[in-house]
Every structure is written in structure tokens, then in C-alpha cells.
Amino acid sequence: MRRIDRVDVKLNFDGTFVKFTHLEYVAGKVKVFQNFDLDIFSYFELIDLVKEVSVKEIKNLWFKPYDKSLDQLCVSLKDDSDVMKMLEFVVKWRISWCKHKWDRE
């Protein structure tokens, strides 16, 4: 079974996945990079952001799960349901990561 050390989700604001402005979800935290400034949000803070004005900021971005096996999968976040799909994906990865960790203990 493949070991999962972390959960990575990146949202780049220009859809190219190469610039510095993005959200990155790593092991239960969301890092927001804006011109090298860094804020860290918990998953629940991300939910709050999505519920509020941030939905406008997240829409029309691209969501890409960073996993070699999923390298070609990209989702355009055009509406609320796309944003919720992104969050659902994050939750599933987080649950599988926790289960794997618990199984090893």
C-alpha cells in the first residue's frame, strides 16, 4: 500500500500552476501565498472562507490535486458546486490520510 505522508492541493489564480499566488492544502493546513506573504488556515477556516466572500475569489480558478497518479486531472472552479467538489476531494484525502496513519499505529 502506498504511503501517504501529506495531502497537497494547489489553487493557482491564473490557472497555470506555476505562479506564486495560490492556496495550498498540506496535512490539514491551507497556505495562502500572495506575493511571498504567507497565511495559514485550518481546514475549518477554509470552509468559512468559502462560505463568505472568498467564493468569489476561488471561482474561475483551477484546482489541481498534486499527486503523480492524478497529474492530468484539473477542475475549473466556476460555481459553488465546483468549490464544494474541491472541498469534498480535500476531505476524502484527509480521511484516507488519517485512516492510514491510524492503521500504522
60-74: per-residue pLDDT in tens?
444 444 444 444 444
pLDDT of residue 55: 45
Question: Measured between alpha carbons, how far is 3 from 63 in angstroms, rounded to an integer?
Answer: 23
pLDDT of residue 62: 45
Task: Report if residue 3 sits inside a domain.
Answer: no
Distance from the Cα of residue 19 to its chain's centroid:
16
- Split into its structural domains, the chain has a count of 1
CA neighbor of 73 nearest in space, from 82, 84, 58, 62: 62
Question: Measured between alpha carbons, how far is 7 from 91 in angstroms, rounded to an integer?
Answer: 10
Task: Report if residue 2 sits inside a domain.
Answer: no
- In the predicted model, is pLDDT for residue 93 greater than 50? yes
Q: Which domain holds residue 53?
A: 8-104
Task: Report if residue 1 sits inside a domain.
Answer: no
Q: Work out the percent of the chain whose per-residue pLDDT is above 90.
A: 0
Task: Report if residue 29 sits inside a domain.
Answer: yes
Average the pLDDT over 21-48 and give the result.
Answer: 47
All residues at 6 or more sequence positions from 85 whose CB lies less than 8 Å from its CB, including other chains:
75
Task: Report if residue 73 sits inside a domain.
Answer: yes
For residues 18 and 85, the model is more confident at 85
pLDDT of residue 83: 61
C-alpha cell at 4: 501517504
The whole model's pTM is what? 0.31
Total residues found in the chain within this entry:
105
Task: Report if residue 51 sits inside a domain.
Answer: yes
